[in-house]
Structure 1
Amino acid sequence: MFTQEDLKKDRKDVINKILLESGRGEVISFCSEVLDKRAYFTVDMHGNIKRKKYNYAVPAAVFMENDNEFADYISENLNFTEKIKIEKIGRMTNEDTEEVKKNIFKLLVKGECHFSLRHCKELLMRDSEEFFKMIFMISMMDNTAFEKPLAVYSLKKYFEKFGYSDEALYLTISYLAKMRADFRDFENEKAGEISKEELRNRIKNSIDKYENEKGVEILGYLAALLSCDYEKENIFSNILKKKIDEFENSFEERNEELSNIKKSIYEYLSKEV
């Protein structure tokens, strides 16, 4: 049985041993307290705003084919200075489903992590399809650069592959809540005429162009959009259309070196769409 001190002393060796003995799901669970951040968004009294980047630990567990590359990614992205105690996530069994859904939306928009986790777990346990549909919707309302749709899509695939995990749910919902929302694009967008299937075909016809940072961001949004049918689907489709237009109009052939994790995500999503 390993401890956090063991992990701190020899992170790669400990991760490899857990991987060999118990698999990737146990690696994520064991390392989860040093894979999150206390805050993803901060602003000081001088008006300086800082946003920290998403940790791709959950996507790495799902999309990276090579175990050694997965172990490298996790070991390189542990942060002991921001260690957070992750306790068992409780539930809200006494609330009716509509109240749970209402509170999830309200709490995530406010950036509240602790109680949003309890409500998210409750809805997930009652109706996983409804849970993911709602979380996908919230993620697609947000700034596409934050890659929240990719985070939610990765969580869905994680549960399909490894089963439910408090730690994986925590890492994802923590990011959604703490990376405070920016709804400007959604707020100012109108419903369009283009369908998500038309957008899918458009991307598929030039998929090689999307093997870069911006392309992976767009593919993550498309994967979320294709996952469910949404009330505001025409707005989401129009947001994505404009992002594709911007991307393709400014596209230049370039040798952008993607990280191993981004390559893995691209390779998976390019086949999915």
Structure 2
Amino acid sequence: MSNDKILTIIKEKNKNEIINMLKTDGKIKTLSFFAEVLDKRAYFTLDNEGTIKRKKLNYIIPIFAFSDDFNYLADSIINFSDLKEREKISDISRLSNIEISKLKEKLMKTLANGNLDFSKKYGKELFLRDREEFYKTVLEFSLLGDMKSLKPLLILSFKKLFENTEYEENVFFLLISYLTKYRDNFYFYENYEKDDNIVEVKNLRESIILNKNLLESMEGLEVLSTLKALEMYDFKNFDKFLSKVNDEIRMLKSLTVLDETAKKLSAAFL
């Protein structure tokens, strides 16, 4: 399908055409077709008056991971596409001469530095050679920052979407682009202090489930997806990550009500 055809579908909100694509080509191929209008050129901007603006996570990958309702998926593509933000996705070259340990190190550094040109290359190579090491690396990176980024949610959704599925460049780019472009706040991680009375993951999850207000808030989704990430792998800095989560919860001053999309996603992480 040509790019002009894709743009026409979005402009005309041609839901039936997208549903036909989903039926014919499947979820991942359809998502790949529209990837160029599902990303943002930047997720963090600062103007000359010092005003900071952050753009929120595009839920399209989580939605595709946890729903098989073609009507809902087609509506989501239309609603989350932004023609003004369209950015051409170029082929990502391989780095097959670099060993796994070096790929992990370079990927972590380039994600932290916001260097998309290289993070996508190191990320692709690691993903193609060892998916589990890729997921562990990007989850570890996501746990360094504050929970508001929802990076763990995005990574875990991508992981579910690509279970038993081949690599798809454009969808992979959507993941790496957000992980790289969204600027993290490492304050809680940097100011970690050991706490012998720290609440364990299981107890923390149960306390959230019992707290209706927190459970039905955006902050609840942030915590639940972060705890799910912590349970995925044997992280070297597990205690530090868990302490950071506890600190962030204690610092909550207000709660944000879940919108309908986030509400559907929250149930997947209980």
- Asked if Structure 1 and Structure 2 have the same fold, meaning a TM-score greater than 0.5 normalized by the shorter chain, the answer is yes
Deviation string for 1:154-212 (max 9, x for gaps)?
11111116443212211111011111222111111123343333333444555784122
Whole-Å separation in 2 of the counterparts to 1:197 and 1:141:
20
Question: What amino acid is aligned across from residue 80 of structure 2 in structure 1?
Answer: N
Aligned to 1:125: 128
Q: 1:215 aligns with which of 210, 213, 220?
A: 220
Tell me the percent identity. 34
Whole-Å separation in 1 of the counterparts to 2:10 and 2:251:
43
Does the 8 A contact of 2:149 with 2:184 survive in 1? no
Whole-Å separation in 1 of the counterparts to 2:39 and 2:225:
21
Aligned to 1:269: 269
Q: 2:155 aligns with which of 152, 155, 180?
A: 152
Change (3 A) 1:190 1:30: same
Report the count of equivalent residues. 265
Aligned to 1:6: 8
Q: Give the secondary structure class of the aligned counterpart of 2:167.
A: coil
1:65 positional shift = 4.7
Whole-Å separation in 2 of the counterparts to 1:71 and 1:243:
36
Does the 8 A contact of 2:128 with 2:167 survive in 1? no
Whether 2:113 is the aligned partner of 1:115: answer no
RMSD, matched Cα: 2.2
Q: Give the secondary structure class of the aligned counterpart of 1:160.
A: coil
Q: Give the secondary structure class of the aligned counterpart of 1:42.
A: strand
Q: 2:183 aligns with which of 180, 183, 208?
A: 180
Aligned to 1:259: 259
Question: What amino acid is aligned across from residue 32 of structure 1 in structure 2?
Answer: A
Change (3 A) 1:165 1:148: same
Segments of 5+ residues of structure 1 without an aligned counterpart are none
Whole-Å separation in 2 of the counterparts to 1:218 and 1:161:
28
Question: What amino acid is aligned across from residue 58 of structure 1 in structure 2?
Answer: I
Question: What amino acid is aligned across from residue 9 of structure 2 in structure 1?
Answer: L
Q: 1:231 aligns with which of 223, 229, 236?
A: 236
Does the 8 A contact of 1:65 with 1:264 survive in 2? no
Query: What TM-score do the two structures reach when normalised by structure 2?
Result: 0.89
Change (3 A) 1:58 1:161: farther
1:250 positional shift = 6.4
Q: Give the secondary structure class of the aligned counterpart of 1:47.
A: coil
Q: 2:63 aligns with which of 60, 64, 67?
A: 60
Aligned to 1:89: 92
Moved more, 9-18 or 55-64: 9-18
Question: What amino acid is aligned across from residue 264 of structure 2 in structure 1?
Answer: S
Does the 8 A contact of 1:191 with 1:235 survive in 2? yes
Q: 1:141 aligns with which of 139, 144, 159?
A: 144
Which 4+ runs in 1 deviate beyond 6 A? none
Whole-Å separation in 1 of the counterparts to 2:80 and 2:164:
22
Whole-Å separation in 2 of the counterparts to 1:164 and 1:217:
27
Alignment map for 1:24-43 (pairs within 5 Å): 24-43=27-46
